[in-house]
Amino acid sequence: MAQHNLFGKQAEERALTFLIEKGYIFLEKNYRYRHAEVDLLVRHKNELICVEVKARSTTFFGTPESFISSKKIKLLVQAVDHFIEENELDLEVRFDVIALTRKKDKWFINHIKNAFYAWE
């Protein structure tokens, strides 16, 4: 496996562990719909939370969350809409970002709740 793919998988695992420790309930990982992939789908209370995980080894070129495009947001919204219909869910939806950076062997996590809205 390429080093950058391994880095991404490690980041997703750390994000999921972080959320579970905070009381979130894991539903789905790497959910695909058409051209979209949702990194994590979790539930917290009466909310379905779509989590985009972004990781960088440096912030020299910008923070991890700054690399989320408007096209990516549209794709995430479509995928989450499909997930809701497919599973017949009646929950509020929230879009979060978990931004991770790693310096040497130390990971830093920034959980951004309501990072964007479906109409963006």
2-16 pLDDT, tens digit each: 655 677 788 899 999
Set out the domains of the chain in order of their start, with CATH numbers.
3-116 (3.40.1350.10)
pLDDT in tens, 72-106: 889 999 999 999 999 999 999 999 999 998 888 88
Buried b (16+ CB within 10 A) or exposed e, 33-59: beebebbbbbebeeebbbbbbbbbeee
Longest Cα separation, the chain: 44
